[in-house]
A and B are shown apart, each in its own frame.
Chain A
Amino acid sequence: MSGLTTRTGSTLESRQMRARTALAAILIGALAAGSALAADFDADATINIGSLYEPQNLDNTAGAGQGINEAFNNNVYEGLFRLADSGEVEPVLAKDFKVSDDGLTYTFTLQPSVKFHSGEPLTSKDVKFSIERVTSAESKSSRKNSLKPIAGIETPDDATVVIKLSSRSISLPYNLSYVWIINDTATNLTATEDGTGPYELADWRRGSSLALTRFDGYWGQKPSNGDVVFQYFTEATALNNALLTGSVDIITSVQSPDSLAQFKDNADFTVAEGKSTTKLLLAYNDRVAPFDNVKVRKALARAVDDAKLLKAVWGDYGTLIGSMVPPTDPWFIDLTKTDGYDVESAKALLKEAGYQDGFSFTIDTPNYDPHPIAAQFLQGELAKIGVKVNINVITANEWYSKVYKAHDFQATLQEHVNHRDIVFYGNPDFYWGYNNPKVVDLIKQAEASTTTDDQTTKLKEANTIIAEDAASNWLYLYPQIVVSAKSVTGYPLNGLNAQFFAGGIKKAD
């Protein structure tokens, strides 16, 4: 996997965790119906969701940005699997699947009587078409590389898909959760859609809103609302005001703790904190001196009081992390003690590395919050050990071309939103250029594991090594805060891959 997603960048794969809550809500809803309880919510309600992430277009293989996952994943399009709000992978359009003993052949049986919004039935050909769209040369999907082991796709009958792999890939179901199943006759997918999800696209007003309406032919559990409208804002303050005045019901992800004050003590609103996978990183270019020296990287890690930075940016929210793996991943280990804050030992390490007089370097800093403030904080912290930091403010686009593509940087600040993105450290060509053959090998082996336990053990080991190597400086894990009007419940809480499953959202009468 070499793609990644930043908040403003291309595809992002967070929020899938929310699926779980949505599913739970659906189940609870079904139970409630079974016990003949009167519905206390409006089944035809319009849910207005406020977001800062408007998609660039409607195709997640065409660089649409994280907003499209938020609006469309499991709302308009479904995959064979989905990443639930809990972080687990659940089957959706795949009713069942079998893996051959050598782990190289996956046979999927599709859900019967699934219809696309255009009315056509789902067949195995649509699945083949959809996977090949993601792996094609033109595709800009960040998951393209993770699907590389796919050697061929066969469709013996309409309800069966056989995927042949060139090497074992224990994450295949997980990776397939990023693949939207699209009708193979659909065209113009950047502006229209033809999926199987519980909602179909009603209206997209560029720069303003994206309206979805309940699809009556949906194969699964009917959503507990009638319409969902994503309303897009470019500015967080305007978005907060929209919630305060009731023009939106929910904010998918609050980006500043200070704006919460107006909702927290107000009985009309619910503030819910979930778990996010978004990490703020000071990523070094590990290819260039002095960052090719592990002692220097460790010294820099020890010189920065992450807790103080987290407090400055997020107040009482957020979590400290010691590596790239957040607590929601199965291979999480608490590594915050590795290279913990210790200025004296940082100085000693720098001396050992031959930089007793310090050095200076430039941090390429994206121009939006919290990067500039974090950069200034680092400037102050590193000055204490004699390291001079220059701040070069750049735009998101410049970051993409200068840092991500051209690797033309010394160090950079960036928020990494992806779920399970420790694998980026197994790719020596990734922008930060971390190259430890042991880690590359462990990550490769983990993917070829036969059991998840085996995979977890290997990735835990890799996780420990990257922390010991101080491959990057993991500053903190963002909180995921959803704020809603009191009358609205049933929304997903966690920030996995920016998904926001709307099917379970209920609005009180």
Chain B
Amino acid sequence: MSESTIIIASVEGKKRRSWTFTIGAIIVGLQVVIGLMTLIWTPFDPSAMSGGRLGAASLVHLAGTDRLGRDLFSLIMIGSRIALTVGSGAIVIGGLIGITIGLLAAFASKTLDDVLAAGLDILIAFPTLLLAMLIVASSDGASLTTAIVAIGIANSAIVARLTRILAKRVLSMDYITASRISGTSWLGVVMIHVLPNIWPTLLVNLALQFGLAVIAEASLSYLGLGAPPPNASWGRLLQEAQATVYTAPLGAIAPGIALVSLVIGINLLADGLRDLADPTRRSRR
């Protein structure tokens, strides 16, 4: 994500940026690598009953096996790919819709702006899960796509509200008026003045939304509203492990660690990004 810009923006904060950003980047990077790897290789065929019922962790089965004797480590690796797919998909959808609506509201007449703002507030007040359930219920059954769309739409409201506020702040500046007077079109204003001014904050927000999307995906899958089996989402692995949590706690702990580490990684990354992108914050430290 625009490494060069970040470095330019943080000449004096270079030392401080290091740990949160770096650790976050390492964790997320690792998960991305694992997720991509599953496209060509996993230790075991994830649907094969390669071990005994609830086998313990061993060198062969690094995270043990589930009730059907499937290799949990392979399933968790695939879960990584699903989490990242849903997270990325959701922020792309959320970002595109959110930024568009946010800018529209910022530029719109007072009435339209009020209507859009009220609409966004209502959408934000709707819990993501409820919204997702509605979308799943109105579509032809739960799938990876419905999960991405549902989480993306829920995210878009938050992105839109932020975009609107940030854009309005920029638009109230005198130089915008000057720019308009000198003949810049509205689209030009957006491209030249608004977006470059608001993107650092937006980027941080999108990164945070990514983490929330990963959690939302796990929650949906836990409830059976995410990607249907045999897609090994972490949420579903947790749900399936619930019945055997006493005798085989690893079945719940392992996907739990995977989920928590990815979300922490993303949050550290976002935190690092914020420190780097926001000069006021940096100087306060």
Contact = CB atoms under 8 A, between A and B. Distances in A.
Contacts of A372: 224, 229, 236, 239-240
Given A258-B244, A258-B246, A312-B69, A376 B47 contact: yes
A237 B247 CA distance: 12
B245 A393 contact: no
Interface in B129-157: 141-142
**What is the predominant secondary structure among interface residues of chain A facing chain B?**
helix
Contacts of B66: 373
Contact of B224 (A259, A312, A395): A395
Contacts of A236: 242-243
B230 interface: yes
Q: Which of A240, A368, A372, A390 has the most CB of B within 10 A?
A: A372
B230 A393 contact: no
Contacts of A308: 49
Nearest to B67: A312
**What is the predominant secondary structure among interface residues of chain B facing chain A?**
loop
Contact of A392 (B69, B141, B230, B236): B141
A106 interface: no
A365 B225 CA distance: 12
Interface in A198-213: none
Contacts of B8: none
Contacts of A383: 47
B67 A261 contact: no
A116 to B, nearest CB: 42
A240 B236 CA distance: 22
A372 B228 CA distance: 9
Given A259-B246, A262-B246, A373-B240, A311 B53 contact: yes
B68 interface: yes
A383 B46 CA distance: 14
A379 B67 contact: no
Contact of B230 (A237, A262, A391, A395): A391
Contact of A256 (B68, B225, B243): B243
A391 B228 contact: yes
A380 interface: yes
Interface in B99-122: none
Contacts of A379: 47, 229-230
Contacts of B47: 376, 379-380, 383
A312 B68 contact: yes
Contacts of A256: 243-244
A313 interface: yes
A213 B242 CA distance: 35
Q: Which of A259, A368, A376, A377 has the most CB of B within 10 A?
A: A376
A390 B140 CA distance: 13
A367 interface: yes
A258 B223 contact: no
Contacts of A392: 141-142, 228
A313 B246 contact: no
Given A393-B224, A395-B224, A376 B68 contact: yes
Interface of A: 236-237, 240, 255-256, 258-259, 261-262, 308, 311-313, 315, 365, 367-370, 372-373, 375-377, 379-380, 383, 390-395
Q: Which 9 pairs from chain A and chain B are nearest by CB?
A: A367-B224, A393-B224, A258-B247, A258-B244, A256-B243, A312-B67, A391-B229, A392-B141, A391-B228
Interface of B: 47-49, 53-54, 66-69, 141-142, 223-225, 228-230, 236, 239-240, 242-248
12 contacts: A255-B243, A367-B225, A369-B240, A369-B243, A372-B224, A372-B240, A373-B66, A373-B68, A376-B47, A380-B48, A380-B68, A391-B228
